[in-house]
Structure 1
Amino acid sequence: MEILVATGKLAEETVRFSVVDNADVLVLDIEVAAFLTPHRLLSELKKQQKKYDVIFVPGLCSGDFSLVAEELGCKVYLGPKHAYDLSSVLRFVGEMEFSLEVPACELLTDVWRDIALETLAEIEKDAESIMTLGDVKLGGGSRMKVMAEVVDATGLGEAELSGRIASFIKKGADIIDLGASLTASPDDVRRAVRIAREVSTVPISIDTLEPELIRAALEEGVDLVLSLNSSNIDDVAGEVADAGVAAVVIPDAGNEFESLVANLDAARSAGINNIIADPVLDPIGHGITGSIVRYSRFHEEYPDVPVFFGVGNVTELIDADSVGVNATLCGIAADVGSCILFTPEFSEKTRGSISELNTAASMMILAKERGSSPKDLGIDLLRLKEKRRRPEFEVPEKHVMAQKFAGWTLDPLGPFRIGISTNDDGGVIVAQHEKATIVGRSARDVMDTIMRMDLISKVDHASYLGCELEKAEIALRLGRSYSQDDDI
């Protein structure tokens, strides 16, 4: 198949580097590749002796290149937005249909992601698990499941508890854990479990060591008890067994390996069949290395026992972005046979941990399926950093240094107050003016609306607003707070 890539002078070097010998390169007499027009391309191609099957034009071109395709009898597609992505695009020529409306890089992002999601669905469908909670598979070849704890669930009002559970499930929680406060009563537990049952269909666990609270949860049909050790096994293990409910078994104080094994044996002797072991992940600075060794030893000696991994023990106690921490811990969890990834998503710095762990768990199972490292999978957890860096400008010798302008005056049409409002769908930018309040998801949409409504009259005001709206959009994308005029 004969392939041609058309570009401009500025991008020539990058295009040739990316294409190598997988296609011919046509450099037109224009500086910026995105300014290529159908007429200019057709005129140049008519001079060529060689006939091509596929022609890629720059992904940012906006003309109607279907005319070129009709006249030359070949396929013309939008290439990627950035020349360095051409190598990835050319690999798929002949395998997929590209477009004249959507840049190839965006199509491939969707394709790679769709392939990844389809593969994940097939893996989960065919996986043989060690146990199940309702329809949720645990262990074996299934994906690690995310358990989201509703902290102090027994002390929340019905509306707040319902909303938090629904929010966690929407973020990707496979199991909801109801945290019982130190002052919770059996009636509080029953109420919390009933509310959880009303608003969700996912498995529900109760998080307490108190026997009377565990009994109350069992009466309401809870699916999982978290947790059992020597302090309560003699009191409630028989009732857990009679209810056919799964249980997470933990070591006693000190988290000794032998203590965990002894408690597991006691739980089995009481008749509990579905047991999940929690060797306990200690926080950084409090023995995390030793706890990981404990996990590794347990999985080596008891490979058929599913493992509970308390990611939140680490993420909540480190001032670092949760994305990378969650991804790394998820990889360790996969290595030690974990079936449940636990997170409370309690503090602001860990907001998003549920979806991060869900994605990380998917990445680990895909990597295992492909026999590769968790990269180039079609899904990722890259939020601030990037896999490939775009080409940068060289500063010319003759240039003007930018200087802050302090002589602005109030726009006669009035000022704007910019803010954001977040929700489970990401949230919106809010631009308040005395004549109207504009709400939108993107800075461009909000600014376009402001201009269309003639709510702005000064260039410096427009420049300022554009900067603030973009900051607000970035804050929404990163899950950060926003305050007008403050740095982000």
Structure 2
Amino acid sequence: MRILLVTGRLAYPVVKELAGDADVLMLDVGVAAFITPKLLEKAIAPVKGDYDLVLVTGLAASDFSGLEKKLGVKIRLGPKQAYDIPLALAAAGRVEFSSKVPADMLLANVKRESALKELGDIEAGASCAFSLKGVKIGGTSTMKVVAEVADATKLTDVELVSKIESYAAADVIDLGVPLESSEDAVRHAVRVARSVTRKPLSVDTLIPEYIRAGIGEGAGLVLSLNGSNLDEVGPLVAEKGLAAVVIPNDESLDELFVNIEKARALGIKSILADPILSPVGHGLADSLERYREFRRREPDMPLFFGAGNVTELMDADSVGINALLAGIAMELGVSALFTTEASHKTVNCAYELKTACDMMALAKKHKGSPKDLGIDLLIIKEKRARRDMVEPGPTVIEAKRHELKLDPAGNFNIYVKDGRIYVNNGSVTVVGDEPMTIIETLADMGLMSMLDHAGYLGKELEKARLAIRFKRSYLQDDPF
């Protein structure tokens, strides 16, 4: 395929370096984003028959579709950044580039859609040890995420519903029951949960009375059974044909096998074995050895993996921890990973863990590492560094602060609520999602009159936007 890359003076050296076998044409413009159809037509009309595809920068603001029709050659948007050119060139011929969507965004969307379809195909063709309301567990199916609503019976109905809805990524909703609860509270929590989700529900307690109450209202998974409650509730679990997580009495692998055999003898067929994953500093490495030994002795039984035990007891961003734990779980042959969002630092863990499980499913199928899959957990860091291509003017001035002056048009209180940004001056409140939209609204209303005040607002509004994106707190004037 004959490809022409069109760029400006500033980006030309980098584009030329990355162009491979493609030709590069530099136009008489400093920044490639300022290329216009008129400028492009003059340059490529004489050579239009030499190329199958002309790529301009994805940052271009002009519409080249009319010129494409006039010249009879495809003129499409390349990537926004020059460093993504090799990816675009590799896809040329396989992907139809767009005149509206930059190539890097288009390729990311195509790859993501392909990955999601592949995940669907993997799950559709997978076998399982058992299923919970259609959710496959074990066998060759993908790893599932069990997300706990901590102290579910202590929450108001509104709080419980909100928490369940926040677990959209989870496969199973686990209702955590505190010791000081009651049977009626358990029944009520399960009823409320069933009214708002069709996902399988588990009741998370060792107390037999609470387990019976949860089963009576439709919980399909018991978390957990051990020597303390097997005799009392094991027969009911077997009679109802329910699934159960079986744990040891004292983190001993031998005790776990004793309890599994007892559960089997009682007639429980759908078992998730939990050798107990310990937190860092409390035997994590030893617990991983237990998982490895269990899998050696029991090649086929579904395994339960308490990832939340690790993330909750570590003051570190959870996203990387969840990715690594999912990778370890995949190598151990785990079927279900447990997480919770009981503290603010673990908010979004269900989504992170589910995405990580999907990545591991694709990596396992491809027999490779969990990278370049079309889905990822790169939240802050970037996969490829991109150099800024700047063209400074003849004069460079060091920036410095000046004395603070209050805007005579008034000042604002900025806060975040329910995922939106609010700006209030005491009489008017402007609400929005994007900082620039809010700034433009304030300007149109004449609610600010100083440039440095506008700059300050832009800084604070962007902090608020980032706080929403990363599910953090926002306090005006505090460091982010």
C-alpha displacement of 1:393: 5.5
How many angstroms apart in 2 are the aligned matches of 1:206 and 1:50?
69
How many angstroms apart in 2 are the aligned matches of 1:395 and 1:60?
17
Name the structure 1 match of 2:408.
412
- Give the superposed CA RMSD: 1.6
23-32 vs 395-404, greater mean Cα deviation: 395-404
C-alpha displacement of 1:18: 2.2
**Per-residue deviation, residues 317-375 of structure 1 (Å, max 9, x unmatched):** 00000000001001111111111111111100000001101111111111112222111
Name the structure 2 match of 1:460.
452
How many angstroms apart in 1 are the aligned matches of 2:60 and 2:364?
40
C-alpha displacement of 1:94: 2.1
Name the structure 2 match of 1:127.
126
Paired letter, 2:232: D
The answer to whether residue 301 in structure 2 is matched with residue 305 in structure 1 is yes
> CA contact under 8 A between 2:410 and 2:425: conserved in structure 1?
yes
Paired letter, 2:454: A
> CA contact under 8 A between 1:414 and 1:434: conserved in structure 2?
no
Paired letter, 2:374: G
How many angstroms apart in 2 are the aligned matches of 1:391 and 1:75?
29
C-alpha displacement of 1:457: 1.3
Name the structure 2 match of 1:480.
472
> CA contact under 8 A between 2:6 and 2:54: conserved in structure 1?
yes
- CA 1:49–1:324 in 2, change beyond 3 Å: closer, same or farther? closer
C-alpha displacement of 1:162: 2.3
C-alpha displacement of 1:465: 0.9
The answer to whether residue 53 in structure 2 is matched with residue 54 in structure 1 is yes
Name the structure 1 match of 2:196.
199
**Per-residue deviation, residues 21-79 of structure 1 (Å, max 9, x unmatched):** 1x111111222111111111111223548621110011111112123312321000011
Name the structure 2 match of 1:80.
79
How many angstroms apart in 1 are the aligned matches of 2:456 and 2:18?
38
Paired letter, 2:293: R
Give matches, 1:351-370, under 5 Å: 351-370=347-366
C-alpha displacement of 1:284: 0.1
**Per-residue deviation, residues 384-406 of structure 1 (Å, max 9, x unmatched):** 1010111036797963221122x
C-alpha displacement of 1:141: 2.0
Name the structure 2 match of 1:155.
154
Equivalent position to 1:469, from 427, 440, 461: 461
Alignment partner of 1:132: what SS?
strand
Alignment partner of 2:24: what SS?
strand
Equivalent position to 2:317, from 315, 321, 331: 321
Paired letter, 1:46: A
> CA contact under 8 A between 1:408 and 1:460: conserved in structure 2?
no
How many angstroms apart in 2 are the aligned matches of 1:343 and 1:189?
20
How many angstroms apart in 2 are the aligned matches of 1:48 and 1:219?
77
What stretches of structure 1 of length at least 5 have no aligned partner?
none
How many angstroms apart in 2 are the aligned matches of 1:437 and 1:389?
40
C-alpha displacement of 1:233: 1.2
Name the structure 2 match of 1:29.
28
Equivalent position to 1:372, from 364, 368, 371: 368
Name the structure 2 match of 1:384.
380
C-alpha displacement of 1:209: 0.9
How many angstroms apart in 1 are the aligned matches of 2:475 and 2:304?
40
> CA contact under 8 A between 2:11 and 2:389: conserved in structure 1?
no
How many angstroms apart in 1 are the aligned matches of 2:472 and 2:185?
34
Give matches, 1:47-446, under 5 Å: 47-48=46-47, 51-168=50-167, 170=168, 172-253=169-250, 255-392=251-388, 399-405=396-402, 407-422=403-418, 427-446=419-438
92-101 vs 173-182, greater mean Cα deviation: 92-101
Alignment partner of 1:338: what SS?
coil
The answer to whether residue 9 in structure 2 is matched with residue 9 in structure 1 is yes
Alignment partner of 2:16: what SS?
helix
How many angstroms apart in 2 are the aligned matches of 1:186 and 1:48?
80
How many angstroms apart in 2 are the aligned matches of 1:189 and 1:364?
35
How many angstroms apart in 1 are the aligned matches of 2:246 and 2:48?
75
Alignment partner of 2:91: what SS?
coil
How many angstroms apart in 2 are the aligned matches of 1:446 and 1:465?
9
What is the TM-score normalised by the length of structure 2? Answer: 0.96
Paired letter, 1:4: L
Paired letter, 2:140: G
C-alpha displacement of 1:104: 1.2
How many angstroms apart in 2 are the aligned matches of 1:104 and 1:90?
10
Alignment partner of 1:91: what SS?
helix
How many angstroms apart in 2 are the aligned matches of 1:27 and 1:314?
54
How many angstroms apart in 1 are the aligned matches of 2:473 and 2:153?
29
- CA 1:85–1:393 in 2, change beyond 3 Å: closer, same or farther? closer
How many angstroms apart in 2 are the aligned matches of 1:89 and 1:61?
16
> CA contact under 8 A between 2:48 and 2:71: conserved in structure 1?
no
**Per-residue deviation, residues 425-444 of structure 1 (Å, max 9, x unmatched):** xx111111345322222112
C-alpha displacement of 1:419: 1.5
